[in-house]
Amino acid sequence: MKQTSLRVLSLCLLAMILPPEKTDAQVTTAHYQRADSVMNQANLVYSAGIRPEWIDSSNYFWYKNHEREGDFFYLVNAVTGEQQRGSTKKELARYFTRKQQDLANALLKEEEQQERTWRRRSGDPEPVISPDNQWKAYIKDNNVYVASLPADATGQGEEIALSMDGSPNLRYDGWALQWSPDSRKLATVRVRDVQERRIPLIESAPDHQRQPVLQWRDYAKPGDALPVSLPVLFDVENRTQIPVDASAYDNQYFLNLTGWRADSRALTFEFNQRGHQRYVVAELDAQNGAIRHLVDEQPQTFVHYYNIFRKDLNDGQELLWISERDGWRHLYLFDGKTGKIKNQVTKGDWVVRKVDFVDEPNRVVYFTASGFNPGEDPYNLHYCRINLDGTGFTDLTPENGNHQVTFSADRQYFTDVYSRPDFPAVSQLRKTADGSVVTVLQRCDVSDLAAQGWQMPEVFTAKGRDGKTDIWGNIHRPSDFDPAKTYPVIEMIYAGPHDSHVVKDFRPANHLISKVAELGFIVVSIDGMGTSNRSKAFHDVAWKNLKDAGFPDRKAWIQAAAEKYPYMDTERVGIYGWSAGGQNAMAALLFHNDFYKVAVSLCGCHDNRMDKIWWNEQWMGYPLDESYSASSNVDNAALLQGKLLLINGELDDNVDPASTLQVVSALMKANKNFDQLYLPGKGHSLGGSFEMHKLYDFFVQHLQNQTPPAWN
């Protein structure tokens, strides 16, 4: 009896010392159903953020608003801030007097949906008419011709060949033909063509026939030969070609003519050197063909060339240019005559994200920027203005949040919708003159959603690999979250250096994240070093090093979050991602398998030599060197540890399907165990119910050690 009492006492003491054992919840069919229906939660979010439609050039706009009682329409007078509410737009139109019937008609117009389609130029370009309407310029037999207008009585004008040395492989480009404003000169580029690589795609199960169909796609890859375009200039009056020494621009990724000066004194072009480590804005003298550089960017790593901004002022007397030469992306004002910097327009440890508008008469530039408010998420967009001399910086949207703005036609007013992942949207109307708020239009209401157990995402920050730099990300919890239980951690990754990727707006559900969280996981998304929109040094981590993908920062961030929240189990960490994120997800099991245990890689680019030239050479450089192999999931496949599921589609023309199949081959040769799902008829957009269900099952089985519910 005495021994029994001692044993009970010992157990009681242990219970006081040791925390209660935490357990996982059992994953059921209900969890899967909740995952599949999670996007319906948006119906329980009211006044989520307006999308204004400004009415022609007036100061009126309308918007549609989802409310608890239904959907309603609002008409707003931006001058007064007065709002009118109606169940239809016809009701709103009644608020316009007869004197404003045109506005009423404009309000009732159906919204025009414009779809931008990017097409490769095909066919023959139309002739280009000179500004004085006396000539037309065109390409015939790969050479430049002009013909006089109007045509003579026979229907034919005088035809003059300005060049005679064109050939199919060294041709003059009709798409680039540009007349000088005085109609005396004509410019284009002479192109040395190459045969572009094509990749084959096999459609295994076409709808229209039994047998497979072979498809081909033009698809240049890193290291491939590229066309070379060099500027040429013709004196139409004298029927001569003006000599232009453009040999310095032969090693190019591209060279684009960017227009004539208004007084016809010169033509400008932009040159991106192969490898993206030099970017030039140049001016070509129309009289003698001499070339001088106005801007010449030559960083040690890369020029982020598809984030370039340039604005020529006063017919090229000045030039506004974006550069990272001081370590941050800022605006500089150049002297158009000397090519020297007159002044740095913006300055500081923050970045200009996008230039929206340059008010030349008042010498003011409007732009979005981020990172200048201490303590605030450095990715939050704010709308700002500054004078071209660098004075008068004003944040027109000062609230802590990510701001999305839409202007009236005269730019006197704008709507401002701001939110954060953990702060539902506020929609307001502001004056451009001083940023003052005319009225608050709507405040987002999530009370009904919260009443059903929905969990607000959490914005979390922790120090990165250097112990100094703040790394930002979001934490997502399931709607049945219980802090007394333990949860495996899964990271949804996309570490493409072309941007930052963690959502900064309020979203009641994220289709790539919320579905996975509902199965009983803590899902995180993080922007580590190597991604964009921070300092140049932060971004440069990616240079010739895509395998890094910010993983040292990501692991430190997750560990810091788990230290704060012990229910996050860092012994069971998974990862998944699409495209570049698919490359990252598999790389986690090659280079960081001490931390990541399970990965699902969807349509991944697993070797940067196999993927698109324009994206991969931007970060990995040219010519190709050993860094490509060091970052390759194929060449490093033998390092695999953990559970891996590869998913891709046979008709993917964004990432060559062979990229995944080469990984499969390398894993087989290394005798590695893995799973593969190769989808007939599927392209790059993978997120359908079948592949998502396979993703769910893989994580449930290997991170929660449970048998997934039967599909049927």
Task: Provide DSSP, 631-685.
Answer: T-TTTTGGG--SEEEEEEETT-SSS-THHHHHHHHHHHHTT---EEEEETT--S-
CA 159, CA 695: separation in Å to the nearest integer?
65
DSSP E strand stretches across 503-628: 522-527, 568-578, 598-602
Q: Is 339 exposed, middle or buried (0-12, 13-18, 19+ CB in 10 A)?
A: middle
DSSP secondary structure code for residue 307 in this structure: G
668: amino acid identity, one letter = M
pLDDT given for residue 486 in this prediction: 97
DSSP secondary structure code for residue 50 in this structure: -
Q: For residues 416 and 405, is the Cβ–Cβ distance under 8 A?
A: yes
Q: Where are the alpha helices (DSSP H) in 565-657?
A: 580-591, 613-620, 626-630
Q: Which residues contact 175 (CB under 8 A, 6 or more apart)?
A: 121, 125
10-residue mean pLDDT profile of the chain (712 residues): values are: 48 45 79 93 95 96 97 97 95 84 83 41 84 96 94 71 96 98 98 97 96 97 98 97 97 98 98 98 98 98 96 98 98 97 98 98 98 97 98 98 98 98 98 98 97 95 98 97 97 98 96 96 98 98 98 98 98 98 98 98 98 98 98 98 98 98 98 98 96 97 96 80
526: amino acid identity, one letter = I
Q: CB-hemisphere CA count at 13 Å for 495? A: 34
Q: For residues 531 and 497, is the Cβ–Cβ distance under 8 A?
A: yes
Q: For residues 419 and 405, is the Cβ–Cβ distance under 8 A?
A: no
pLDDT given for residue 156 in this prediction: 67
pLDDT given for residue 455 in this prediction: 96
| Cis previous bond, 623, omega within 30 | yes
At the topology level, CATH places domain 29-43+448-703 in Rossmann fold (3.40.50)
> In terms of Cα–Cα distance, which of 362, 367, 374 is closest to 330?
367
CA 319, CA 574: separation in Å to the nearest integer?
49
CA 448, CA 317: separation in Å to the nearest integer?
58
pLDDT given for residue 101 in this prediction: 86
Query: Per-residue b/e over 456-495, b at no fewer than 16 CB within 10 Å?
Result: bbebbebebbeeebebbbbbbbbbebeeeebbbbbbbbbb
How far the first Cα of the chain sits from its last, in Å, is 55
pLDDT given for residue 25 in this prediction: 72
